[in-house]
Amino acid sequence: MHFEWWHWAVAGIALILAELAVPAFVLVWFGLGGLVVALIVLLLPQIEVTAQLSAWLIVSVALIVFWFKLFKPNFHKTRVGMSEANLIGEVGLLTREVAPFQKGEVRFQKPMLGSDVWPCLADETIGAGARVKVLSVEGSLLKVGKT
């Protein structure tokens, strides 16, 4: 059995299209590996099937490693325990008044931990539209104070 270059091209495109159905962002690398092997087979038509499969596997795994090491270096890490370090000291704008024992709402210029609007508490009454600074994180609420 001998694979032609177009076999690899069709398989590569099929894997890339299959990524639309399986949103794990892994199949695309195997599809790109197939396209690279299609180019290799086009340039070197006498290459053996074993070498083709080996090249496909090596290129695909190299692309996956390249993706996770270079472009997504912290993708596999959890964010547990990092919320306080990321939010304390951030300055935001109150969108809803906050008072002692009443929740307010603060909006940040950039999303913090997936959201740009957070519920907040304060020790004093602060009117909507005021700039506030995050003092601490208390569960899912932010404790804020005037800047």
Q: What is the pLDDT of residues 47-93, one digit of tens each?
A: 999 999 999 999 999 999 988 888 766 665 655 555 444 778 899 99
Output the pTM of the full model. Answer: 0.52
Q: Is 99 helix (H, G, I), strand (E, B) or coil?
A: strand
pLDDT digits (tens, 9 = 90+) for 114-130: 788 999 999 999 999 99
CB of 131 closer than 8 Å to CB of 107: no
Domain spans of the chain, in order of start = 5-71, 83-146
Cα distance between residue 3 and residue 11, in whole Å? 11
The CATH homologous superfamily for domain 83-146 is: Nucleic acid-binding proteins (2.40.50.140)
Q: What is the token pair recorded at 93?
A: 């704008």
Rounded to a whole number of angstroms, the distance between the first and last alpha carbons of the chain is 73
